[in-house]
Structure 1
Amino acid sequence: MSRWNNTNVPDFILMGLTDSEEIQLVLFMLFLLIYLITVLGNVGMVLLICLDPQLHTPMYFFLTQLSFLDLSYSTVITPKTLANLLTSTKNISFMGCFAQMYFFVLLGAAECFLLSSMAYDRYAAICRPLHYPVIMSPRFCRALLFGSYLIGFMDSSVNLLCMSRLHFCDSNVIHHFFSLSCTDIYDTEIMIFIFAGCTVMVSLITISLSYVSILSTFLKINSTSGKQKAFSTYASHLLGVTIFYRTMIFTYLKPNESYSLGKDQMASVFYTIVIPVLNPLIYSLRNKEVKNALLRVIQKREGSRQLK
């Protein structure tokens, strides 16, 4: 903390995607629309799962938490982005910047391991259906959820500790956070890269092993209807995982030689603003159970209105 107090930079100036006021207004309207859909989609998903008893299963328990993470993830970044697009002063306080980074890393790391938990749930449902209720017990599901948040907390704490060792001076215009430090950042970059790499790789290995087992079981199914049913149980999750990890790996785990400010800015917009709105669409549009649950809730409400 004393290192932070000695910094010469009271706040940071956030460089936007463009300097054109007309384009900034268009981006504001676009990002505002996306954020509103994100809020409605994820809150709607949580409420739908809570209201329909038939969705009170481990799969939808994790999906509820995914919606919560996506909503929180987007809320950490998007409101400040919208404010900066409308105002001429695009600054963020020093402590505000660190707080934003802390919760961003915490939620992102937690989502990695939540997706791993969801992949393991699909493995248990398809590969070990007779033992599924025992394997995915409520206690075990809660333990997986707690572990996801714990790993996110540890990852974000390490990032915050590494960043607190840096000394910031002179320029306060943000293109890339590390580039503002006037101290040697090599050790800090290595430490953060190791923890970020471990988070991504461990979760990816878990997901990959789960889907290799699922694919092996899938190929052994003889009936077409059985294959369609098995495919429908994991197709949505596989699509969500692919989008999430491809963007993250492109942004954080590529060599420095391939760094491009423009591409990285677009990638950051995609995984902070666009991905949170995609998950509720993916899991609702491609999931018959969610569609049927929505119809049941609507019919129930219409029935109660007719009784009144």
Structure 2
Amino acid sequence: MEIRSCFIVLILIQCSFHAFAATASRDSVTDAELQTLSEALLAADINNCANLVTVNQQGSTSFHSHRDNAPLPLLTVQSTAYSKPTIEKLLPLHNNYVARVSDAEVVTTQETQEETAFLDAIMPTSVMKKAEKFLVDKGFITTRRRLSNGSYRNNNRAFRDAIHQIWFGLYSRENNTLGSSGFEHVFLGEIKNEKVQGFHNWVFFSKEEQNNNLNYKGKIGPNVSLGDKGMIVKHKFDWNSKEKPISSMFVGTSPEFEIALYSVCFYTRPGSRCPVKLNGKNVSVATHYLYRQGKRYVGSAFPDI
């Protein structure tokens, strides 16, 4: 009996070791590799709009201050920016979500079609292709699927399916209500406990400023210049009369650049600082994740400056 117990314990230890080793193998991606890839992603960002966006940061503020030190909008965007192929497909998604995480999301057929159209637009871009190759080559995305007869078939949609799940899969942040997703949190914004959460995309930010739903209140610390590819800003704002005391976002970059960079960091440095290099500058990207029913989803993602 003792021998059998020891044998079972040994098996459990071995299984635990193999599970740990599989997870630990993700650490084989070096900081230098992430920095090289991130520079390549920025260089490949052909739908970048930095030359079409004017940033007016105005006065400085802080996390604890409630004063409005910026009487003018942060962003002035030329209309042609919204005609960029991937941004054009991003815009219809802006009205697909309910901001309060306590309210369940109801996904209509039209909204599903708009998600599909957006993914159709971003997936063939060079930025996403580079991210796909990196994650597949490093073993984070498996493109081979085992069939019932023991043979294997290549799954050419593996990366797309993974992106769809981690960004658009619905999960609960409150009361088991399916009222949130990584995409809504990062590319739009959410309200929880009467506070703004997420909201890290310049396109939605600019549209909400234009619609008088958002009041920019000032910069926090220095920005990070991305040269002719835009910048990273840290700031404070009110959205629908609710404050976001501190936030950060890329300005001028394409949605596919942000999804590609954030997704790479989500897989390679989950829940921690992801060291990247952009325009020769060392920058960190923060990603947070949630586990729901055995699947991992983007909880949040933003440039951490």
Q: Please, what TM-score do these two structures have when normalized by structure 2?
A: 0.23
Larger relative helix fraction: 1
Q: Please, what TM-score do these two structures have when normalized by structure 1?
A: 0.23
Larger relative strand fraction: 2
